Every structure is written in structure tokens, then in C-alpha cells.
Amino acid sequence: MNNNHYWKDIAKRLQKEHPDNKPPAKWTRRETQPLLDKLLEKVGFSISYATFRRIFKEGEQGKAETKDIFAKYYEYESHRHYIDQHLTPKEKKRKRIYPIAFIVSVLGLLLFFVGKTTLSNNRYNDKKAVLQIVRKAVEAEFASYQAIPHYERQLDSLKVLYWEDDNAYKKILQVLEGQTAYGWVLTNGGNPSDIELEKITLDSIVGERAYVTTKEHWRLEWYGSKSLRYEYFYDEINTQHYTLTKEGDIWKISINKYDDKVIREIPEYINCDSLKAHTIDYNSLRVGVQQAAAKGNVHLMLRMIDCHHSKQSNILPADLLLLMSAKNDLHRDLNTDKVGYEVFKINKQKLINEVLQYLDDADLYESNPTDYEESAESPPPIQEKVQVTE
């Protein structure tokens, strides 16, 4: 057997694996995909359908790396090893009578390249490890979302795959903490949320950094355990770019970037301790709220007011609760595709103006209550207050 016969022999093997004994030259894309998945699962590498078509339908030889993938699929070390194991008797005899001088030269070359071969094997192991980590990370991220509100039990699984101090892990943790605070879950009855890793490609390994690109289909339907209705829909196929770094012999994910084509707004969970500078008194509160209004952040505006009131009592004014409810409805309408983004922006600006008016009214009455005592007009009614339930 030589290189020219290698693909013919592989094609015969693939034909035997086909349920209808169909030669690979006649396979459709749908018939080819199970094989490509098996290559990835067994070898750690795969090829595209376009490459498969060029080799088995158009007769191209393909790269040595591509030949190696199929050889390893059939449990050979390489395509060279595969060819050597399938030599004809005549070819074996010819191989035995090679001149001794040539054999000595080959041994010399082998000794010369032994270091390079060792490095190549290490790089192969790195490639396999990197792809396996990303595959596991996709599943672990989704499993952690499903575990909300008891996501802590999933953190150890994430830490095996992500560097804790880097951006990718922190982004997941932020989602876990935020959705838990809002009471959003994926575990209500009949929730269709799922994740599918459609494609994974190792772009390169440069030193102690590896770069992987994936195509992932995320379907998330967040359900409000407090509101008892869906709060957020997300159904998109993303191209995601992972950066992994190596410390010692350990690879973990540092960065996970993707271009989000869907316009969504998930209010960030904000701890009151981080807003102390803006909740000391009404003057500092007014400055903070106006700064947030200038940035169009109605969620931050209301959170500042909420934290200011909560310092004194866990009972909030009814008017403030109505504004907070309107803010929740505002984001829910956008995130469940009830309204488009242009309508959302108009409604958000209206709500920002209402919050500023609320702050003016509250400041006028609470800062100067004696003004009403000297006025002939009756003071405004005290706002009804209700107990906040968490």
C-alpha cells in the first residue's frame, strides 16, 4: 500500500460502516455528520464536510494531519503506521532489502528528530485537552444555570475548567448571583431551555495560550419564581471565542467572548453597600440619581432610592413600589419580545422622568415638611406604605 491507495482503503472501511453499505463518495451532508462527530469524540479532532467531500468525492489527497485523523480513528498511530501495517508481501520484501547505509541514515535522522517528536506528542496532548475542556465548560455553564438558586453546588465543577480570577468565570458568577437575586430559574415545569454545541475548532496554540472557536445554540427561558411568569427569552446560535491559558500542566479558560445579536437588557444586581456614597442623604441621593438618569440607567436610579429608604425601614412607599414594578414590566416586555427596542427606549425615558418627579416630590415633602404647616393649603397625603416581601 502507498499514499495513493490509503484513501481507497479508508473508503472501503467507511462503506462497511454505512447502514446501507453506501460508498462515502455518495454520502450526503446528513449522512456524513455522524462520522464527523465520531472523529471528534474518539480522536479529539474532526474535519469539515467540505474537506470530506474534496477527499472522497473529488479525489484530493488531503493534508497529512487529515490522514492521521482517520488512521487514529481506526486505532493506528498515524497514517504512516496504517500504511506500514497494510503492506503487500512484495512491498514487505522490498522494504527488507534496503541498503544498510540507508537504514543507518534513517536511524540518525530519528535520533535527530526525537526531541521534535516528543514536542509534537506533547502538542497533540495539549490540543486534545483544550478541546475537551471547552466541551465540558459549555455543559458545566448550562448546568450551573439550571442549579439556580442553589448554584453553589456547581461552582467546584466550574473552577476545574475556568481560572477563578479571570473574566470568563466572573461573567458566569455574575449571572448566577443576579438571577438568584431576581428569583429567575430554568427549572419550572415544562421549561424548554437547553444548550447544543454544534461545532468546535481549535484555532491555534501559541506558547501557553490556546484559542478555540465554537458555534453554540443557547435556548434560555428564564422564569420568575416571584412573578410566576417568563421574564427573559434567549434563543440564538452564537459564535464564541475562547482563550485558554496553561499553568504548569493545567489548561483552563480565561476569556469567553461572543457577539450578541439579540437586544436584551438584564438589570444588574446591585448591592446596597456599593451605593453608600449616594445614599447618605437626599442631596447625595439626588446627585447619584441624576447621574444615572443621564446614562439612561433607570434600574440604578430606582436601586439608589430603594437602598436609601431601606436604611431606615424595610417598608417602602407605595409610589416607589409602583415605579419598581413598572421597571420590571419594562424589561420583561423587551426581553420576551413583547415590544421592540425603539418602543422600549421611549417607555424607558418616560419612566426615567417619572422617577425624577418622584424624587422631587419626596425631597420637597420630606426635606421641608414645615412649609406645608404654614401654608393655607392642606399638606399632601402621606403615601401609603406597604411591607416589602422578599
| The pLDDT of residue 17 | 92
pLDDT, tens only, 52-96: 988 998 888 888 889 999 999 999 989 888 888 876 555 555 555
Q: Name which of 277, 268, 288, 32 is nearest 171 in CA terms.
A: 268
Cα 242 to Cα 200: distance, rounded to the nearest angstrom:
10
Question: What parts of the chain have a pLDDT lower than 50?
Answer: 97, 115-117, 119, 364-390
Q: Which amino acid is at 98?
A: Y
| The pLDDT of residue 183 | 92
pLDDT, tens only, 117-172: 454 566 788 999 999 999 999 999 999 999 999 999 999 999 999 999 999 999 99
Q: What SS3 string covers the chain?
A: CCHHHHHHHHHHHHHHHCCCCCCHHHCCHHHHHHHHHHHHHHHCCCCCHHHHHHHHCCCCCCCHHHHHHHHHHCCCCCHHHHHHHCCCHHHHHHHHCCCHHHHHHHHHHHHHHHHHHHHHHHHHHHHHHHHHHHHHHHHHHHHHHHCCCCHHHHHHHHHHHECCCCHHHHHHHHHHHHHHHHCEECCCCCCCCEEEEEEEEEEEEECCEEEEEEEEEEEEEEEECCCCEEEEEEEEEEEEEEEEEEECCEEEEEEEEECCCCCCCCCCCCCHHHHHHHCCCHHHHHHHHHHHHHCCCHHHHHHHHHHHHHCCCCEEEHHHHHHHHHHHHHHHHHHCCCCCHHHHHHHHHHHHHHHHHHHHHHHHHHHCCHHHHHCCCCCCCCCCEEECCC
| The pLDDT of residue 386 | 35
CATH numbers and ranges of domains, the chain: 3-96 (no CATH), 127-258 (3.10.450.100), 272-387 (no CATH)
